[in-house]
Amino acid sequence: MNTQLFTYTLHLADNALILGQRNAEWCGHGPALEQDIAITNISLDLIGQARNLYAYAATLYNDADKAGQAAFDKLLPRPWKAFNRPLEEDDLAMLREERQFRNLLLTELPRRDWAQTVLRQFLFSAFQFLQYEALQATACPQLAAIAEKSIKEVAYHQRWSGEWVIRLGDGTEESRTRIERALADQWPFTGEMFSTASYELVDCATLRDRWMQKVTDVFAEATLDIPKSGWAQQGGKDGVHTESLGFLLAEMQSLPRTYPNATW
């Protein structure tokens, strides 16, 4: 159970961190000052969620006995053991390798244009809201508390991004073309959200209908059609990623890997 809880906590944290990092790429590049600030704040919210989850995962490891820690080691960065100190949240974010991350593939896709960004945020936030809602009823009080604290932020993320999907879908010919292109690119990655991995504490398949209803309602206002279901991209939950994640991690982790165990 502890190995399952540890892996699941990393999965939740990885989702938040990787999408937060992707959104952070908009800082100083947003289409307008207000939206530049909005997407940057959403990035900070997600990274804050990731910090809380990584801190809890580190606590699970540090409080485990040697046998328990050995079971966790395959998901841990190799360098940190040379530091002769307890595991820290930053180690989990900045020193793990690509195959050790368990984030959804959707979160790591390249930033591309504004339509790609806001659609991804909406599709993910609509799912994350239901996931955090379900987490509040789990037997793990720490995850329940993190979910309860975070769900207000997620509700805003969902509302903000949903309004942008409507604005682009029911806007100009150019905006509609871009949001339809984004939908065609991203829809095949949504199925992975509802494919429940062995370590997950929430049965994600049970969230699909409510997620689909939320998406359908927003798409109706945006005058967008729900794509036909097809083969879903899989692998992120098991550590098999697109090449995009490697480039993202190389940039994100460059400083702590260049100066390991540095302090400010």
- pLDDT tens sequence for the chain (264 residues): 588 999 999 999 999 999 999 999 988 777 776 787 889 999 999 999 999 999 999 999 999 888 888 888 888 877 777 778 899 999 999 999 999 999 999 999 999 999 999 999 999 999 999 999 999 998 899 999 999 999 999 999 999 999 999 999 999 999 999 999 999 999 999 999 999 999 999 999 999 999 999 999 999 999 999 998 777 899 999 999 999 999 999 999 999 888 877 776
- DSSP one-letter string for 32-54: SHHHHHHHHHHHHHHHHHHHHHH
- What is the phi/psi pair of residue 259, to 5°? -125, 70
State which amino acid sits at residue 181: R
Q: What integer pLDDT is reported at residue 134 of this predicted model?
A: 96
Cβ neighbour number for residue 186 with a 10 Å cutoff: 21
> What is the Cα–Cα distance from 229 to 208, expressed in whole angstroms?
13
pLDDT score at 37? 85
Q: Measured on CA atoms in the order 127, 133, 137, 138, is the torsion positive or negative?
A: positive
Tell me the backbone φ, ψ of residue 103, rounded to 5 degrees: -75, 155
Tokens 């504490």 -> residue: 201
pLDDT at 161: 97
What's the predicted TM-score (pTM) here?
A: 0.94
Q: How many CA atoms lie within 13 A of 149 on its CB side?
A: 14
Exposed e or buried b per residue across 84-101, where buried means at least 16 C-beta atoms within 10 angstroms of its C-beta:
eeebbbebbbbbbebebb
Residue 227 near residue 187, CB atoms below 8 Å: yes
Query: What pLDDT score does 70 carry?
Result: 84
Please name the CATH architecture into which domain 2-229+239-248 falls: Up-down Bundle (1.20)
Locate tokens 């804050």: which residue?
Answer: 48
Measure the N-to-C terminal CA separation of the chain; round to a whole number of Å.
Answer: 37
Which tokens go with 131?
A: 């996931």
